[in-house]
Amino acid sequence: MLALEGIRILDMARLGPGPHCAQILADMGAEVIKLEMPAPKEGKRAGRTITLPGDAAIRRNSRSISLNLKSDAGRGVFERLVKTADVVMEGYRPGVAKRLGVDYEAAKAIRPDIIYSSLTGYGQNGPYAEYAGHDINYLGLTGMLAMTGRSDGPPMIPGNTIADNAGGGMNAAVGILTALLARERHGVGQQIDMAMIDGLLTMMMFPIDEHLTTGAVPHRGETITTGLYPWYNIYKTKDGKYVSVGAIEPWFFENLCRLIHCDEFAAEQYTEGETRERVFAAFTDAFLTKTRDEWVSLLMPEDTCVAPVYGIDELVDDPHLGQREMITDDANGRRQVGVMVKLSETPGSIRSPGPEQGQDTSAILQELGYTDAEVESLRGEHAVG
């Protein structure tokens, strides 16, 4: 038994946050059908579109139909699919879905209680709504870039697409699940306007709230979580690797000072100026006396809030992540990131690898009642791939 078994989702979102949202829901049992436009053969995008590999982990547990939504026959297939669906997802710029005839109003006319998720960078309204953007732009606008990096250097690009994955994909999944619950309780469908900048602003709530409350302007390197203090920082070790230290509570800091032989600083956690710099220097020197793994072995089990700074090639072999099945194998033995949410009674699972684009076109059309002759006619009209 899977938590979202029986929920059908039509996924028109192509790259980034949409597929991540769909993957989260598919892992929990939702039936995800990807509606994928055939690559254009002419125009400025011909031969230049970005596509994900068919077996990419983010496409797992789903099926794919190659569907030309610019054709009347293709929209006819869309309409039949909507009749069978609970959720429609799209990631177009505002107005594009309407021009294609596959917007919320079109879907609602077919199924009044449909849940329709529109996932964009800047949202469905506002001065920036129709602007193009990518992850780095959304991070910049919401203050996240300004708060990332050293105080004496420029803003730094984080190591992952935070706007796509957390600001957009995960929050869209929350929105869809909330709307499904509202439909179950109140009998209403609705449109979800999920903007990546909205998700990021929620993630930046603490520094924004501080500014709105006090008028102070937080700067990177000058707050607890951006490197102001020695007890929340990153240190180089003897072998050129790094450890992360997050000993915020005084008792964790005291344990840390004792174990790295800096006992004299145990009462200096919140000091400023010259004393703080002395603690920084002492910690820097101390961590250079052992290798990263020696420090992790000594400190991590001892209530110090210390952990290794892993490279990607290292984390995939971490025993803890392996035991929690966060690095696991699919049915074909392909290693990948596991299922995020751990449910005790209806756990999610990786049931199938990602499909190639259009892999399930014929099967899905037949399920919708199209005959073999009609399927061939649709192919001849280039309504499906």
**Contact partners, residue 61, CB within 8 Å, separation at least 6:** 23, 26, 27, 32, 350, 351, 352
Q: How far apart are CA 230 and CA 233, in angstroms?
A: 6
How many Å apart are CA 304 and CA 248, to the nearest integer?
Answer: 9
For residue 89, which of 32, 51, 133 has the smallest C-alpha distance? 32
Structure tokens at 78: 């869309």
**97 contacts 21 by C-beta, under 8 angstroms:** no
Query: Which tokens sit at 206?
Result: 């603490």
Is residue 164 annotated as part of the catalytic site, yes or no? yes
In order of 116, 190, 346, the CA distances from 177 in angstroms are 12, 12, 15
Residues in the chain: 385
Are 367 and 87 spatial neighbours (Cβ–Cβ below 8 Å)?
Answer: no
Cα distance between residue 321 and residue 343, in whole Å: 17
Q: What's at 174, amino acid-wise?
A: V
**Choosing from 134, 198, 303, 318, which is the catalytic residue?**
134
Q: Residue 261: count other Cβ atoms within 10 Å of its Cβ.
A: 10
91 vs 12: CA distance, rounded Å = 7
382 is catalytic: no
Q: 313 in helix, strand or coil?
A: helix
Please tell me the chain's helix, strand, coil percentages from 3-state DSSP, rounded to the nearest 5. 40, 15, 45
Catalytic residue among 11, 86, 135, 164: 164
Distance CA 68, CA 38 (A): 6
Catalytic residue annotation: 134, 164
